Chain A
């Protein structure tokens, strides 16, 4: 028994070390930092709740909270719905399934940096593909990324293009729904619509739950795409948040505070607020899941 403990620990030691040094210690340290004032060059000095108080009165902080929540609340369900729709289409035993699946998945492989550049060009107000096509239809093309009312919506569109991971997971889970369930309900006279709601959705609901949580957590950390859009010269100033700060995401403002303004304490306070918000949202989703997630017999 003792020998097993030693061997188990030895095999788990890389993770154990990583957990202590790169997760547990940083988690506690950032909590401590959040009550201090410090930049990279001077050591932390205890200031109590000053960082949290400063954040509550900081308009840019609230702007970044709003932007990020907007993106999370719009992008998450749209992405899940769209991915499920594609997966359902692919699950109809069509010929050429693997070709379609490949075509839908490939955009997901493109690095976010390249995706951002590509979509900045597609959404270019004068010479972009989208407004060019709208022009052919005689429709006026908006200034997608520079219009504060549309810039986040543009990011949602960009996200849809690269939503292949969720689609593949949904497709695989649809393929695992036992065929016998459909057959027996057909004998009972259930139509497709009814089968979808009473067989398909309940069977894959644990997978929807898991994807929902992962998407929310990822969207709360939204960074790269917004950072690239803001980097284009026209708007390029250190600490810029895009047109009327409409693209100032939470993770971006945190980064600005830490590495442009060198307010590490304030940034750490933001990190802990994010930690708590992410925790509460995850907990709420889990709690609600008792009402809509069904776990099978296995």
Chain B
């Protein structure tokens, strides 16, 4: 009995390690390629380890595309979007969980329904709105909608707010505190972990967004990293060393963020996925 249990656990570990290798191998391949020369990349058979480590690929990325500029552009849009979601999503979630008013019953179902609405259905009229306002080509079409709160984050925060006992709020109301005061001094500090999750997800989503910038940014000066990477690919599609170095630099901030905020990450995903 005991030895069969040990065999079973060994078997599970083998599977887990194999899966781990399969998940990590593409990463390692990205990093190894990013240090290879063009000649080495186009030799056959394929080499795994670079003959010489060509660190120059990384500095070349900054010269071939205005990487630093794209990086700052992306950072600007991303931080503005995080601010937008952090402003709007908790306000709405508070309204539908903690304030007793007749409208809140129908807001939540609509929020869920819009979560399921494909982006393409509203894409063209939204584009026309921003075009008529003369805002296409700027970052505003990417930033303004975030200040209305994304359904997913309203949903996530609603799940979190439900776990805050009403008695805390009622006590404050009896003491004569206004709703805005309760919101700022009690609710926001209490839901810091959920807000962190919203900030992280918004950062991740905006940093990686391709469709939005593709629609609205037509001037190479304003490109975000995804657009820059796509333009780079279209011109230098054989220079995989450079392309992998650019991809690695693009991904790095997200990996660093993940390691600092792993807990909020996992808890946030769980919050959107489980309690419904």
Interface residues of A (CB under 8 A from B): 4-5, 7-15, 17-19, 21-23, 25-27, 29-30, 33, 40, 86, 89-90, 92, 94, 100-104, 106-107, 109-114, 117-119, 121-122, 124, 126-129, 131-132, 135-136, 161, 165-166, 168-169, 172-173, 176, 206-207, 210-211, 213, 217, 220-221, 223-224, 227-228, 231-234, 236, 251, 254, 258-259, 264, 267-268, 270-272, 274-275, 278, 282
Contact = CB atoms under 8 A, between A and B. Distances in A.
A21 B129 contact: yes
B15 interface: yes
A176 B276 CA distance: 14
Contacts of B25: 129
Interface in B180-218: 183, 204, 207-208, 210-211, 214-215
Contacts of B243: 117, 121
16 contacts: A26-B123, A27-B122, A33-B124, A100-B20, A101-B266, A106-B27, A113-B250, A126-B44, A127-B240, A168-B273, A169-B270, A172-B273, A176-B274, A232-B233, A272-B121, A275-B121
A220 B270 contact: no
Nearest to A165: B269
Question: Which residue, of B120, B179, B251, B254, has the highest number of chain A Cβ atoms within 10 A?
Answer: B120
Contacts of A268: 124
A94 B16 contact: yes
B99 A4 contact: yes
A7 B99 contact: yes
Contact of B29 (A13, A26, A122, A272): A122
Contacts of B147: 14, 18
Contact of B88 (A15, A109, A131, A161): A15
Contacts of A103: 20, 23-24
A14 B16 CA distance: 46
Nearest to B265: A105
Interface of B: 9, 12-13, 15-16, 19-20, 23-27, 29-30, 33, 41-46, 87-88, 91-92, 94-96, 99-104, 107, 110-111, 114, 116-129, 131, 145, 147-149, 154, 179, 183, 204, 207-208, 210-211, 214-215, 225-226, 229-230, 233-235, 237, 240, 243-244, 247-248, 250-251, 254-255, 258, 262, 266, 269-270, 272-274, 276
B121 A110 contact: no
Contacts of A23: 114, 117, 122
Nearest to B272: A169
- Interface SS, A side: helix
Contact of B99 (A8, A131, A236, A275): A8
Contacts of B229: 113-114, 117
B42 A127 contact: yes
Given A128-B46, A233-B235, 19 more contacts: A5-B102, A7-B99, A7-B179, A8-B103, A10-B95, A15-B154, A18-B147, A27-B117, A109-B251, A118-B247, A129-B25, A129-B26, A168-B270, A169-B270, A169-B272, A172-B273, A272-B121, A274-B121, A278-B118
Nearest to B228: A113
Contact of A26 (B20, B122, B269, B272): B122
Contacts of B103: 5, 8-9, 12
B274 A169 contact: yes
Given A19-B110, A282-B116, A40 B131 contact: yes
Contact of B23 (A15, A104, A132, A274): A104
Given A103-B23, A217-B116, A117 B255 contact: no
B120 A251 contact: yes
Contact of B16 (A21, A40, A89, A173): A89
Given A30-B124, A233-B235, A15 B208 contact: no
